[in-house]
A and B are shown apart, each in its own frame.
Chain A
Amino acid sequence: MSRSTAAKAAMLVGLTALIAPSAAFAQEEPPPTLDSLASGLETVVGEGNLTWILVGTVLVFFMQAGFAFLEIGFSRGKNVGTGIAKILVNFSFVAIAWWAVGFAIAFGGDGTIAGDKGFLFGFGDEMGGLAASFGDTATGGTAAFFIFQFMFAAVSLAIVWGTTLERIKFAAYPIFAIVFGALIYPLIAHWGFGGGLFAEIGDGVQDFAGSSVVHLTGATAALAAVLLLGPRKGKYGPDGKPRAIPGHNMALFGLGVLILWLGWFGFNGASTLGTADGRFAEVFVVTNLGAAAGVIGAMIAIYMTSKTLDVGMIGNGAIAGLVGITAPSGYVEFWAAPIIGLVAGILVVYSVLLIDKKIDDPVGALSAHGVAGIWGTLACGIFTSPRLAEYVGVGNEGLVYGGGIGQLGTQAAAVALTFAAVFALSYATFLAIKLTIGLRVDDDAEEAGLDISDHGMYGYPEQFIPAPELVGYGAAPTAATMAGSPATATSKEVTA
């Protein structure tokens, strides 16, 4: 055999292996047996599942952009750049914390309270708990699971800051992000997703993609933060009545809502952790119906109360519908989704109006993620279908299928536990921050806006700097403007 023929043969084998791994196996031990074909098929299915998890990961990552725009739209024009810095810095700190500690606590073991394997997650490390279902030692599959679950931790953290906009000290972000990403969220994720505490209540708590684990957790930490932080200056008049502090850009807010809606298809849809039986497509439909009904519910409720079609409230309705359908998305039939979303949309309006009387929550996070998150978790106890409870293998059918109030009680217990644990840990963390470095910027910085006071720049320079100064006509004379100055950048350009 000549050298070139051997090379061609090797290339052919390599190419075949690239196109179809099963075919490569078949060549080594011909003829192909049923077993070898089956194992090849298993690889393809496994990689299909991985692909879907990673597509979902990308969609959930994009939700960071959604939170950024939603919060910036609802902020005043002097607190715009800080919103971007906040999202980037928080996401990055929680990424490291999740890798080093959080993932192990959440998914690295079978303990009731916390996992114990997978700290400083590395390829080939010994795995435990749910993480071990992708291999006893960490594989590419485990990595996909790791990064998908990380995005949920990042979403939960993003929710926390919704109540704190326009007045919190930037230093609070990295500190809380580390505690939240390494301890608070992983604990709840272990209880709810990782086979911990919540699996032992009743026949198991139903929270498919995290109405409680992700959204209630974020909103509860947000409540702890805002109680220690207080309202923005000027939010409450001398008579104690709430005043509106209008956000500066409803278009950015709306873009944020639509991006979140898009990301939610990954959030719920990829929580199937695979493509088996086409279940992820069912989850898509349920998710969309819930969101749509949330919009309609909020639109009707705000029109009934104020006779206006408030843009912010309609957007909050979309978020509430999505949060509400998050826990039930893998447990309910299509018909139940619009009901769950509609209730969430109506709830969010009255909740925002009520909370606004005492607590300054600029984006309505407590209502859209907290109240709707509680509703979504409880809704499983009402609407879960026998078919899907059995398919997922958690809990029983809901009230409307004659399942009694047992599952509803289990769901309520999960809500109470989540709230209590997250509130205690978050309040302690924020209190520690407040007592040491302080939680709130000083009055001057708040008045000037965080863009200029924290970041030394404006999000909209042309709005804050008079045009002549921005152009520099009034600037001190430089070498370029001094007459008779020989070598300057300008004169060089001209002569060249």
Chain B
Amino acid sequence: MKKVEAFIRHEAFEPIRLELLGLGFPSLSISEVKGSGRQKGITERYRGAELTNYLRPKVKLECVVADKDVPTIVDTILKHGRTGAVGDGKVFVLPCDEAYRVRTGEAGEEILQAHPDPAAASA
């Protein structure tokens, strides 16, 4: 069981979500985050006074998958997230100890299994 944590551009998220859905990974969470990387700050002006903003908005995507599925997830993110410019983001893979399904109380890697859905992928 691994947790994949990716910091990506906003516009990269939708293609990633659609492909993961088709591959059978509908379960993920995102949050709006702000962070800094190697990109420079952006200087704004309000009635002449300047304000330089070094923190840029990004989407943080999190999902927990079985060990064998990690390369699939990471490849999908890298494929759609890359523009080649500074600011594309980063992907981290972290160990995950336990997983429970709240509805039934089931535990273990089986609750993370993929549910491929070709119809969703083509949609």
Contacts and interface: CB of A to CB of B under 8 A. Distances in A.
A353 interface: yes
B38 interface: no
B47 A242 contact: no
Contacts of A242: 49
A432 B58 CA distance: 51
B98 interface: no
A356 B51 contact: no
Interface in A195-251: 242-247
Contacts of A245: 46, 49
A364 interface: yes
A242 B45 CA distance: 12
B48 A352 contact: yes
A39 interface: no
B32 interface: no
A352 B51 contact: no
B47 A316 contact: yes
Contacts of B46: 244-247, 310, 312
A374 interface: no
A352 B48 CA distance: 8
Nearest to B46: A244
Contacts of A488: none
A244, A302, A306, A313 — which one has the most chain B CB atoms within 10 A of its CB?
A: A244
Contacts of B44: 244, 246
A436 B49 CA distance: 34
A242, A246, A302 — which one has the most chain B CB atoms within 10 A of its CB?
A: A246
B49 to A, nearest CB: 4
A306 B51 contact: no
Contacts of B50: 243-244
Nearest to B52: A243
B47 A305 contact: no
Contact of B49 (A243, A316, A349): A243
Contacts of A305: 48
A316 B47 CA distance: 9
A27 interface: no
Nearest to A356: B49
Nearest to A312: B47
A43 interface: no
Nearest to A353: B48
B32 to A, nearest CB: 14
A308 interface: yes
Contacts of A306: 45, 48
Contacts of B48: 302, 305-306, 310, 313, 349, 352-353, 356
Contacts of A246: 44, 46, 51
Nearest to B51: A244
Contacts of B45: 244, 306, 308, 310
Interface in A400-455: none
A183 to B, nearest CB: 33
A364 B49 contact: no
A294 B122 CA distance: 57
Contacts of A244: 44-47, 49-51
B62 to A, nearest CB: 20
B41 to A, nearest CB: 13
A242 B47 CA distance: 11
Interface in A360-419: 364
Interface in B91-120: none
B74 to A, nearest CB: 33
A308 B47 CA distance: 9
A13 B50 CA distance: 72
Q: Which 7 A-B pairs give the minimum distances between C-beta atoms?
A: A244-B49, A244-B46, A244-B51, A312-B47, A353-B48, A246-B46, A242-B49
Given A244-B51, A246-B44, A353-B48, 17 more contacts: A242-B49, A243-B51, A244-B49, A244-B50, A245-B46, A245-B49, A247-B46, A302-B48, A305-B48, A306-B48, A308-B45, A310-B45, A310-B46, A310-B48, A312-B47, A316-B47, A364-B47
10 contacts: A244-B44, A244-B46, A305-B48, A306-B45, A308-B45, A310-B46, A312-B46, A313-B47, A352-B47, A352-B48
